[in-house]
Structure 1
Amino acid sequence: MDNAEFSCTLLTGLSYDKLCAMTLARKGVTVMSGIVENFYASGNTARGFANLFDSSIQGLERLFILKGGPVTGKSSLIRTIGSRLAEEGYDIWLIHSPSDNDALDGLIIPALKAGVIDGTALREIEPLEPGTVVRYVNLEETVDAARLTARQTEIELLHETIQQAHERAYAGFAEALRIHDEWETVYIANMNFQAADELTNEYIQLLYGDRRLEKRSRVDHRFLGAATPKGAVDFVPNLTENLKRYFIKGRAGSGKSTLLKKLAAAGMERGFDVEIYHCGFDPNSLDMVIVRELGFAIFDSTAPHEYDPDRASDEIVDMYKRCIQPGTDEAHADALSGIKARYAAQMKASIQHLAQAKSLQDELEQIYAQSTDFRRIDQIKDAIFREISGLAAVRD
């Protein structure tokens, strides 16, 4: 990079790679762009902090695990490497943080069988497959330890207060789940289970028919959304792009998750690769199943990830209409109204605890930022990118 290019980078705030892509585009040169999938591999749930990272790193041959507590720069490192690889035409998975709406927890490059993961607790990552080459990257080496020591008492207090805020959030979500169970009870008592079984069999036949693949199914467990400091967030539009979509409508307790579990099991039994998206509120429930080899996604399209069909190929699966006694909503309107109000209030209070934890985390990261050598982080970032690029050369 010459001086003019370096100055331009500083003035625009864009990376050198992005500037190169823009320059090529102006000259009429095609700039490759890979497909980016966005999802969560962890969540702030009614059952505490849930971690599904092990599923996303299955089959990787090279894994970079970033260590270093609240050291700043990890998310930026992951995002920059991902952007470079996507610009080079590689499909990538971006794993988002449920505790920081602007942060990333990981990057997977499926074609290169490589990944970069923030290994900070509560996301302790240990590869399950012995063949994976692991690089532990200690970013605490970029921090001036002496400067942090002078603020150790403040740092410890922030850590403790952040943990307490998360614990209050999880306790609140657990109470919300108990209220949600009350909600479900109303509909379960009015459920036609035979009709639900018939509906399930119809969709197993519709989606799979007699098709099978003579291979072992790969199963990816993920979250399509999460409870975050800014409320419920999901990536349904991104994850279902270019797929035939089935929108499951219904009520709490009307069998949506059970339907999805049976559809996922049918796909696995037939040898298809199945993406299973767990509920970000209760990870024991499912919100979506995707089988890309057959080009379909079927998902719970009710709050907080409620969508309506907007493509000609979209279809609705109405479980209330098919499986619940007619008039149930009307017969229990008063009781349901009270349950909904209590549930909404509890969820709102829990989200506020997550927002408090995020605010405190920002204070903690600011302390670390004042003691961090960001030039060293850039060097580490470039070294990781070069090693991943080297994998591409080997595969070519």
Structure 2
Amino acid sequence: MQSEPQVSFFLGANAPTGFYSLYDQLIDPAQARDIYILKGGPGCGKSSLMRKVGKAMEERGLQVEYIVCSGDPDSLDAVLIPERKTALVDGTAPHVVEPSYPGLVEHYVNLGNYYDRDALQTVRSELMGCMKGYKACYSRAYRCLTAAAQIEEDMRALLSTQVLEAKMAKRARGILSREVKKTALEDGRSVQRFLGGVTWKGVLCNYSTADALCKRVYELSDTYGLAHGMLHHLAAGALSAGHDIIVCPSPMAPDRMEHLLIPSLSLAFLSSSPAQPYPRRPYRRIRLDAMLDPELLRRNKARLKFSRKVAAALTDEAVEALAQAKAMHDELEGLYNPHVDFEGVYRTAVNIVEEMDRHA
């Protein structure tokens, strides 16, 4: 059984606008040694190859960052080995990856070569039928997420006040003065990763990744998704002090920050909610709900309760649609798998590992 990766993020999100990609944030091609772009359709072994390479790098004592699939969190879409300045990425739709320095940095790996094309003709009609139903499920999921996101935005608009923003800014300044000291003349760098996502398994958050990278966790208890204001101030302060940061947007509102990681300080700021609680005891807990206008909450108690209930129901509908898509994708892979030369796929994984060792 595959063990859970220690450090794992999402670079794609099932968002209200459809698939939202951060794959341009995986690794800077100008700083990379090698980027292997994997091509090939369903069931051809892309995720299996990346797992084998990742495991081989772990056995060499290297940290590996696993990028899990937003459609199926049990599958991989990319692997990053920072110390080797190397990445492997599934370059097929919807997260198409185009090379910046083809042949120099990026290399195409065509796993489609391991399909037995003649054998696939025997399941032609079944394959085509699965493809059509799969896309329809995603369309339904995105419609449900759009409706849920609009309700959540309505709640934020109702509760956001200048007083709340001032309180969060003041609290952020206090935290920065205690926790973040200037260490460099130049500003730090920012990279984006989704820490969680809306998947066929439900709404997930890889809190364990934050725990692996950061020993001190500030939990921001945030029922209504208002933490962005505080996180924005914290991120700006950390960058100006010279620290590199990992900004984690909300999958439901990718223009809003949901979590912030500062690995150089072993410091994380994680939003939690009744639906997505932080499972461990934090270093500090900040109750953002307590900063809200109590009279505003009292007057709108029924409205807010109803809105939360409807938004949760719509999200559940989206999850159900994603689960149906997953079932169809499993059927699709089940049709392809018997007609794939997996020994050839695994030989390719070994060749990539050997090449990475030579370049080390």
Tell me if TM exceeds 0.5.
Answer: yes
CA distance in 1, matches of 2:128, 2:242: 50
Question: What displacement does 1:373 show?
Answer: 1.0
In structure 2, what is the Cα distance between the partners aligned to 1:280 and 1:199? Answer: 25
> In the alignment, which residue of structure 1 is the partner of 2:144?
172
- Correspondence for 1:51: 21
Equivalent residue number for residue 154 of structure 1: 126
For 1:85, give the aligned amino acid.
Answer: M
Alignment of 1:56-95 (within 5 A): 56-58=26-28, 59-95=31-67
Contact kept? 2:6, 2:208, Cα under 8 Å: no
Q: 1:115 aligns with which of 84, 87, 94?
A: 87
Relative to 1, partners in 2 of residues 1:101 and 1:251: Cα closer, same or farther, differing over 3 Å? closer
- Closer/same/farther in 2, CA of residues 163 and 381 from structure 1, 3 Å limit: same
CA–CA separation in structure 1 for the residues paired with 2:102 and 2:119: 39
1:21-55 deviation line (CA, Å, top 9, x unaligned): xxxxxxxxxxxxxx941111111111210111111
The answer to whether structure 1 residue 183 and structure 2 residue 155 are counterparts is yes
Counterpart of 1:377 in structure 2 is 345
Structure 1 317/308 Cα, relative in aligned 2: closer, same or farther at 3 Å?
farther
* Partner Cα distance (2:76, 2:41) in 1: 15
What does 1:1-396 align with in structure 2 at a 5 Å threshold? Answer: 36-58=6-28, 59-128=31-100, 133-188=105-160, 191-209=163-181, 211-215=182-186, 217-241=188-212, 242-252=214-224, 255-307=226-278, 310=281, 314-321=283-290, 323-392=291-360
Q: Give the structure-2-normalised TM-score.
A: 0.92
Query: How many Å separate the matches in 2 of 1:137 and 1:67?
Result: 6
The alignment yields a C-alpha RMSD, in angstroms, of 2.3
Q: Is the 8 A contact 1:54 1:127 kept in 2?
A: no
> Within 2, Cα distance between the matches of 1:198 and 1:120?
45
- C-alpha deviation, 1:189, in angstroms: 5.3
User: How has the CA–CA distance of structure 1 residues 258 and 128 changed in structure 2, closer, same or farther, with 3 Å as cutoff?
Assistant: farther
Percent of residue pairs bearing the same amino acid type: 26
Letter in 2 for 1:244: R
The alignment covers a number of residue pairs equal to: 356
**CA spacing shift, 1:327–1:190, aligned 2, 3 Å:** farther
Is this contact kept in 2: 1:247–1:309, CA < 8 A? Answer: no
Is the contact between residue 44 and residue 112 of structure 2 (CA under 8 Å) also seen in structure 1? no
Conservation of the 8 A alpha-carbon contact between 2:188 and 2:243? yes
Secondary structure of residue in 2 paired with 1:126: coil
Does the 8 Å contact 1:225/1:280 carry over to 2?
yes
What SS does structure 1 have at the residue aligned with 2:193?
A: strand
Q: Write the letter of the residue equivalent to 1:52.
A: L
> Contact conserved, 1:190 with 1:325, CA < 8 A, in 2?
no
Shift of 1:229: 0.6
Q: Is the 8 A contact 1:90 1:109 kept in 2?
A: yes
1:60/1:132 contact within 8 Å kept? no
Larger radius of gyration: 1
Q: In the alignment, is the contact (CA less than 8 A) between 1:63 and 1:132 conserved in 2?
A: no
User: Is the CA contact (8 Å cut-off) linking 1:68 and 1:140 kept in structure 2?
Assistant: yes
Q: Answer whether contact 2:223 2:274 (CA < 8 A) is retained.
A: no
**What one-letter code is carried by the residue in structure 2 that aligns with 1:374?**
F
CA–CA distance in 1 between the matches of 2:90 and 2:158?
42
TM-score, reference length from structure 1: 0.84
- Ranges in structure 1 where 5+ consecutive residues have no aligned partner: 1-12, 19-34
The superposition leaves residues 60-103 of structure 1 with CA deviations (integer Å, 9 ceiling, x where unpaired) of: 21011110021332111111111121122011101111111311
Change (3 A) 1:194 1:119: same
The answer for unaligned runs of 5 or more in structure 2 is: none
The answer (yes or no) to whether the contact 2:192–2:246 under 8 Å persists in 1 is yes
The answer to whether the Cα contact below 8 Å between 1:57 and 1:127 also exists between their aligned partners in 2 is no
